[in-house]
Structure 1
Amino acid sequence: MNRIFFRFFVLVMLSITAATFVIYFAFSRLFGDPLEDIARRQAAAQIFLLEQYVDQAPADEWLARLNNVRVVSNVRYDLIPLAEARTALPAGRRAQLDRGELVLDPASRSFYRRVDLEGERYIGSHEEVLRAQNLPVDIGQALKMEALRYVIVAVALLVPIALWSRSHWQGLQSLSRVADEFGSGRLSARSQMKPSASIYPLAERINHMADRIEDLLEAQKSLLHSVSHELRTPIARLEFGMELLDARAKDPDLSKRIAAMEGDLRELNSLVNELLDMSKLDSTRQLQAAPGALAELLHECTGMLPPSPHALDCALADDLGEFAMDRRLLARAVCNLLRNAQKYAHGRILLSAARVDGGAVEITVDDDGPGIPPDEREKIFDSFYRLDRSRDRATGGFGLGLSIARKAVALHGGSLHAEGSPLGGARFVITLPA
């Protein structure tokens, strides 16, 4: 948020600076150099003496009056050849000198003017130039005055812009906080803004959007939770009926079919349990966190796995220490990853954990299975998404285990992602903050 207003401030300052240069060059082109005009006003007394006293003298008294001015003035007056004066001036000023105009040079604090054009003052005066040096010209002060003028203009523009921007900034900060709270799971977060605020219409639209999202999510959770609970009753009745039917069945083929149906019921029951777990995770706002030994929890997870022909190795660092965690949720996440590895591994699974930079903990589950294509590594965490489209119970699953694992890790403030494993298969990495 601060970046927006910093860029706006920089843009305004650059615009003011650019406008300053444009004004200066426009005025220079149309009305002459402003600095020269200031210098001419500062040297007005010397120019007045030359034009109104020295030049008004008869031809035979012109040099005498010039000498009188030399005596009483601190300015140094010299007569120099026309060629020397032309050399001292830039090319753009030589035409003015040739026309007999007074040419100021503020940088050297001097001015030049031909004595006359016809040689009437004295013999050879048309080839000489009067140069006045050490004029009381202070360009530095003039520049300071111009700079102060533009600073005052800039401040006069920036103060109202800053006051106007401040209200926008405060409103956007308020909306940003609401968005952060809403994104963190507090769906009741709303923006409380006065109708007179400049971004009040935007805040109202965001509030309406938040209301709609909250209603939809609550309806979805309620439907999922209610349907899952309602499904448990007929499933329980079916299981009971299947057991009675199996006890009375004498035909071996019928017993096999009943066994297959019981397997389908167990699968359906597992799906309902998974959906209920998803619903609980979505509605969870705070963890039941308590300090616990992370290494002990990971060892417990390996003991909770079903029997498997694959070799399971553990490489846990000694400095894992204690961690504030919800043991049930974190164990569920790790167990889901280990069960997923059991499904796809060819022969080896590796569970490892270690401290990384900043004191965070990194838990990895590797397998030597077929791996996961790079473009699928984010999609597998979506609910009901499976790489293996088969419904076979050995590999199919429901596509909820990885989604539940990521939600459980996210509630701990951590992250879960997939990458390639050094064993040749897939690697799942859980990162828990310090």
Structure 2
Amino acid sequence: MLRSLVRLYLAVLIGGGIAIVLINQSFGQLFHSRVTTLERDGQSAYAFVLEDYLQRHPGAARAEALAELRKHGGSSFTLTTLADVEAELKGSRWRELRDGKLVLDDNATSYYLPLPDGIVVHARRNEVSNLGVQALAYGLFAIAILLSVILWVRYHWRDLRKLEAAAHAFGSGNLSTRAQLSRKSNIYELSQQFNEMARQIEASILHQRDMMHGISHELKTPLARLEFGLALLQASQSPESPERQRERHQALRKDVRELDELVTELLTLSRLEQGEDHLVLMRVSVDELLDSVAASMANDVADRSLTLSVSVSTAGLRQGGRTAEARAGNGEAPDPTYHVCDPKLVARALLNLIRNSTRYAREAISLRAEIGAAGALVLSVEDDGPGIPLADRDRVFEPFHRLDSSRDRHTGGFGLGLAIVRRVALVHGGDVRLESTVSGGPRFVVTLPALPLPLPVQRKVAAP
């Protein structure tokens, strides 16, 4: 802090000194005509007395008169003629001197006074120079600059110290630390950026902690069952029937599959959290994408005696200059709706939503796609099961979050499905929200904005 203050003060002081030198050296030339006018007005009486004095001492006596005059003044006089001065003065100044006017030289440090008999007096301007007074003046100037810098820096110093203390506390592990500065502070916007950075870092660290806790908890149960099953196999004294051995092996394989599914889900979520680097954008037929998802879930839906309806609405979508409805009205087959996205990730998100619905739906599940604002693709999955309370709607998309902790994994899954859905929407630049249907069941709505196709030639690619 002190080093910054010293540097600022030296910069201002050096800048002020350079400005003073430039003023002294250049202003005489920049405002030469104005200085000349002021000098004529100020020296008019002096010029009259000098002219009268020299007129009373003509010829050879004039040199003695000037020598006597030098004894009583600080001016250095030189006598010359108009012809000699013509080489030194040019333009308007030469013409003014020839007309009998006092003129200054180029640097405004000396003047030329013409006399009626053609003699020109060349003398230096009377400028009182006192080094002690000048040193005192410049010293006061430096002190004034220092006080001004200190007054200006004082409030910055105070706020910067607060921001420094907040950064030190945050770096020491106090993640809830925030910089509290007045809105009038000149670094208020910087403090807000720091607070936003601290909030995001805190949320990221807490999220990682929750993830590690959830992973540890989820891995512990199947590992414990595997260990227990292996212990039973090892400790078994009497030979078991083939059916009993088959049941034990099936239970162990189930636990292994559960571990494999959990690791797969974690890898998927981790890859999605890295952002858009893993996106493979294609121009996908929405109809084929939804049909593929529905076909993948057909057996699971049938096993639970549920019905899955799929619909695609192209209302308002321009295709070849006309809407799909207009093309159908003219006897033409309507083109399917296409959208640029990563089909594998979108299909994964829809599968997770439908699997979630199959756990709680009573009779029916609905999968719908439509075109939203600015060409966005809006995908929704709803069911007629029990709704989700408002207090829990913001947390259902968090990893390892279950609405009812008493549910077993067969019902509640790992708690990663909806988290993956949210990440899929985010990497596409969209979002996902939870709504309520008329029947009270949940409706998950995924919005995917229109994206440009990164390929030079757009091709129709079917859904996987």
The answer to which structure, 1 or 2, has the higher relative contact order (CA under 8 A, 6+ apart) is: 2
TM-score, normalised via structure 1 length: 0.45
TM-score scaled by structure 2?
0.42
